[in-house]
A and B are shown apart, each in its own frame.
Chain A
Amino acid sequence: MEEMKVDKRYIQWEKRADNWMDAIRISAQPLLQEQKITTNYVEAMITNIQELGPYILIAPNVALPHARPEQGVNEIGLSVTVFQEMVFFDKAEAEKPSEAKIFICLAAKDSESHLNLLKEISSLIENEEMITRMMNTNSEEELHEIFE
């Protein structure tokens, strides 16, 4: 399995978010700052969830906020944000846990590069030990060390 490489600029550690919408905006911040996405993309990620429900939960405790490339992606990118406090989504119909601590914000442009990123994320979330380590960090420095 390939190791996921993420530049420090795109790794954030946060104490908490006010709500899931706030969490998505925070998780998109590094991509927005580097102009990889537009503000429209950020709002599209939120609107999509309001319409469809929290479909971005890809594994226990892990969310993958993303929207369509045409909704405002300038350049392919990915950011990882760990929230110390659990972020809750509106209750899903199935009444199963709708919550996450790790937000992997994804901006895709074309299908090939997109698939490579998904493969990397896939190998990350398959590794439960890594997910646990990430969730148990207490500072941004600690989180950075994991990705070094």
Chain B
Amino acid sequence: MKILAVCGMGFGSSLMLKMTADRVIQKKGINAEVEATDIGTAESVQADLILTNNEFASQLEGGKSAVKAIMNMASEEEVGKAIDEFLENNK
């Protein structure tokens, strides 16, 4: 699966979110690729799941990708939960 981490600039919180997601998928043994990007290019990137902040989650919802808002970009627990929920809904 492809996960997209989105933030305003594409190299601050999205990279932090990518680092967290990378740790989570490694620990869970999920076959996924994580890419960090900025909000401007997010909509043109194909992804199964978008992880982002509250602000951008509402902007990105309604597209092809599932969107999950993350409160704490460094929380493996929160990111893990978002990925699990996505996998559960897309069996």
Contacts and interface: CB of A to CB of B under 8 A. Distances in A.
A89 to B, nearest CB: 9
A92 to B, nearest CB: 5
A59 B75 contact: yes
Interface residues of B, number: 25
A30 interface: no
B55 A53 contact: yes
B11 A94 contact: no
Contacts of A121: 16, 74
A58 B5 CA distance: 13
Given A118-B19, A125-B74, A66 B12 contact: yes
A59 B19 CA distance: 15
B53 interface: yes
A101 to B, nearest CB: 15
A108 to B, nearest CB: 7
A122 B74 contact: yes
Interface in B45-91: 53-59, 69, 71-76
A114 interface: yes
Interface string A113-126: 01100110111111
A66 B38 CA distance: 13
Contacts of B9: 48, 55, 66-68
Contacts of A123: 74
Given A55-B39, A94-B58, A111 B11 contact: yes
A12 B91 CA distance: 49
A66 B59 CA distance: 21
Contacts of A64: 12-13, 16
Interface string B18-51: 0110000000000000000001000000000000
Q: Which 7 A-B pairs have the closest CB atoms?
A: A55-B8, A59-B72, A126-B74, A96-B54, A122-B74, A94-B54, A53-B55
Interface of A: 48-49, 52-60, 64, 66-68, 92-94, 96, 98, 106, 108, 111, 114-115, 118-119, 121-126
